[in-house]
Homo-oligomer: A and B are copies of this chain.
Amino acid sequence: MEKPTVKIFAPASVANVGCGFDIFGFAIHGPGDIIEASLSDNPGVTILSIEGDQGKLPLIAEENTAGLAVLSMLETLGLSMKTGIDLKITKKMPMGSGLGSSAASSAGAVVAVNKLLGEPFDRMGLLPFAIRGETAASGSPHADNVAASLLGGFILVRRNDPPDVIPLKTPAKLFCTIIHPHIEIKTKDTRMILRKDVTLAKAVRQWGNVGAMVAGLMSGDYNLIGRSMDDEIIEPIRSVLIPGYDEMKAGALEAGALGFSISGAGPSVFALSASENTAEKIGKKAQHILTEMHLESDVYLSGINANGCVEIEN
């Protein structure tokens, strides 16, 4: 007899979104993880297989974001000694790309297992486990990618621990162009190069932009969304690690982008625009700039993915 099984697609996500370092994130369509969870007779969490990771991800549950997320969920339910969960992870997205790969595994896994166990938690109730899971990759709790992948839409993280995450309404015609240059940057390195202090003056301008971004999203003011993406604190430091950054940004803005910034810690970059046509133009332009530098890249075009994690057919 087949074991009960649930298969979940967990979308990739863009975090930070310009001014909102560590607090903004949104889910996209296209790239993501497929997480398959089954009940098993062996108590605890067993990762049966990982595909599409070129052997890079750990199979030990405690060290894997999906595994750790499920372990913390079973523990809270008092089931860690009784219930057995088998996980199969299929990466349908690049890793270490700034698109929330580790977060997608974590989010997808808790949604799959929650379903398998008869949904003891609602979606927001799963967030602490998904955040806990992601610490296996990032070391400290960060809700931005995880919440976007789990809940879908555009989210604001007021606090990470305990999480206080607010879903934000977004206007209908908000399109995202994501450009993923094929170079590798480690999240831990990109965090290390950040300064520990910022000037109060810059911080004030940053929170002015953050407030304006929320107002722009909620009121559907595209121009305000674009003006608010301005980031004086993180972008100047991290963008130097991304070849062609300034040219791609200038090209995107010239093509009509509302704004352009780094996706998460990079190396992926993204633009927001108010039309699909513009989003497409930006992608071609950026890819051309990278090609001239002999760098390969992927381009993803997407609206804001309002669904988050969704169940798919077995």
A contact set with B: CB distance below 8 Å: 19-24, 156-159, 164, 166, 168, 194-200, 203-215, 218-219, 224, 227-228, 233
Give 28 A-B contacts (CB < 8 Å), ordered by A residue. A19-B207, A20-B211, A21-B204, A22-B204, A23-B204, A23-B208, A24-B211, A156-B212, A157-B208, A158-B208, A158-B211, A158-B212, A158-B227, A159-B205, A159-B208, A164-B227, A166-B215, A166-B224, A196-B199, A196-B200, A197-B200, A200-B233, A203-B203, A203-B206, A206-B207, A210-B211, A211-B211, A211-B213
Chain B, Cβ-Cβ closest to A219: B218
Give, as a whole number of angstroms, the nearest-CB distance from A218 to chain B: 5
Taken together as a complex, chains A and B put the C-alpha atoms of A23 and B215 apart, in Å, by 13
Give, as a whole number of angstroms, the nearest-CB distance from A224 to chain B: 7
Indicate whether A199 sits within 8 Å of B200 (C-beta atoms), given known contacts A23-B211, A207-B206: no
- Which residues on B sit within 8 Å (CB–CB) of A195? 200
Taken together as a complex, chains A and B put the C-alpha atoms of A208 and B210 apart, in Å, by 8
Give, as a whole number of angstroms, the nearest-CB distance from A227 to chain B: 7
Give, as a whole number of angstroms, the nearest-CB distance from A107 to chain B: 20
Q: Other than the known A23-B208, A24-B211, what 19 A-B pairs have Cβ atoms closer than 8 Å?
A: A20-B211, A21-B207, A22-B204, A156-B208, A156-B211, A156-B215, A158-B227, A158-B228, A164-B227, A166-B211, A166-B224, A194-B200, A198-B198, A198-B199, A203-B206, A207-B207, A211-B211, A214-B214, A214-B218
Taken together as a complex, chains A and B put the C-alpha atoms of A122 and B22 apart, in Å, by 38
Give, as a whole number of angstroms, the nearest-CB distance from A195 to chain B: 7
- Which residues on B sit within 8 Å (CB–CB) of A203? 198, 203, 206-207, 233
CB pair B208–A211 under 8 Å, yes or no, is no
- Which residues on B sit within 8 Å (CB–CB) of A198? 197-200, 203
- Which residues on B sit within 8 Å (CB–CB) of A210? 207-208, 210-211
- Which residues on B sit within 8 Å (CB–CB) of A209? 158
Select which of B159, B212, B214 is within 8 A of A215 by beta carbon. B214
- Which residues on B sit within 8 Å (CB–CB) of A156? 208, 211-212, 215
Select which of B20, B164, B166, B168 is within 8 A of A207 by beta carbon. B20
Taken together as a complex, chains A and B put the C-alpha atoms of A198 and B20 apart, in Å, by 17
**Listed residue (A21, A23, A205, A211) with the most chain B CB atoms within 10 angstroms of its CB:** A211
Chain B, Cβ-Cβ closest to A224: B166
- Which residues on B sit within 8 Å (CB–CB) of A21? 204, 207
Taken together as a complex, chains A and B put the C-alpha atoms of A233 and B215 apart, in Å, by 23
- Which residues on B sit within 8 Å (CB–CB) of A166? 211-212, 215, 224
